[in-house]
């Protein structure tokens, strides 16, 4: 009975150890995943910032161009006025200015469209990256699982080999009422059978080693 109880306890302890190991592994996986997520976020942020900066730069360029055009028109107007050309010329200048402004407007529109397209492209790229990352994560998870299994197998074998060392040997006491072999006829003889677990090629085996103790009341259970 005692042996049975001890065995159950050993099994339970092994189970507990396995559970704890699983938990630890899961925690590690979680940490790795979190780290990867953070990296992804950083990359995305960087990309967005780049696009925005590019947009800004282009806008500024556009503005500068508009200013230049305006200044040129003004200069022309001034020259015209100075030369005291006819009103018709002035009118023509006005028309030209209008046309220029219109062209500028169109260019601005084009600019906006380009920016939009760029944004869309960036978004697409991000989506692609996300997909790739997801696949990579899946593969990594699988690999981690495999590694976990292998490690657990290794640990288990090592642990099983050291069970007797951990428990200090499962020993139970039997009364030996039969006559002892040999010349010695001792009274109140006890036999201690030490059952120890050993892992062999075939699996777990019980190896019992018999010791004879004479007049040993301490081992009474």
Whether 137 has a pLDDT exceeding 80, the answer reads yes
Q: What is the mean pLDDT of the chain?
A: 71
Q: Computed from CA positions of residues 15, 16, 20, 21, in that sequence, does the dihedral angle turn out positive or negative?
A: negative
Q: Where are the domains of the chain?
A: 33-147, 169-175+189-220
Rounded CA separation 172/4 (Å) = 10
pLDDT digits (tens, 9 = 90+) for 20-33: 888 888 888 888 88
Residues above pLDDT 70, as percent of the chain? 64
The 10 Å Cβ neighbour count of residue 190 is 20
Structural contact between residues 42 and 126, judged by C-beta atoms closer than 8 angstroms: no
Q: What is the β-pairing status of strands 204-214 and 170-175?
A: unpaired
The mean pLDDT of 66-90, rounded to a whole number, is 71
Instruction: Pick the more confident residue, 89 or 217.
Output: 89
Sheet holding 189-199, edge to edge: 170-175, 189-199, 204-214
For residue 220, what pLDDT is reported? 45
């Amino acid at each position: 009975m005692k042996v049975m109880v001890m065995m159950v306890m050993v099994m339970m302890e092994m189970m507990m150890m396995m559970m704890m190991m699983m938990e630890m592994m899961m925690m590690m996986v979680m940490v790795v995943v979190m780290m990867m997520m953070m990296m992804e976020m950083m990359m995305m942020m960087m990309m967005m910032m780049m696009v925005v900066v590019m947009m800004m730069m282009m806008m500024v360029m556009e503005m500068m161009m508009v200013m230049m055009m305006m200044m040129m028109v003004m200069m022309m107007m001034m020259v015209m006025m100075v030369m005291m050309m006819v009103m018709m010329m002035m009118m023509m200048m006005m028309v030209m200015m209008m046309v220029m402004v219109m062209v500028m407007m169109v260019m601005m529109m084009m600019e906006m469209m380009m920016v939009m397209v760029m944004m869309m492209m960036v978004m697409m790229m991000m989506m692609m990256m996300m997909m790739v990352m997801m696949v990579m994560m899946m593969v990594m998870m699988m690999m981690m699982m495999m590694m976990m299994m292998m490690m657990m197998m290794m640990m288990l074998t090592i642990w099983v080999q050291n069970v007797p060392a951990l428990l200090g040997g499962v020993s139970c006491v039997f009364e030996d009422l039969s006559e002892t072999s040999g010349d010695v006829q001792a009274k109140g003889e006890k036999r201690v059978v030490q059952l120890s677990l050993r892992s062999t090629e075939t699996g777990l085996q019980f190896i019992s080693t018999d010791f004879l103790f004479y007049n040993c009341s301490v081992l009474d259970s």
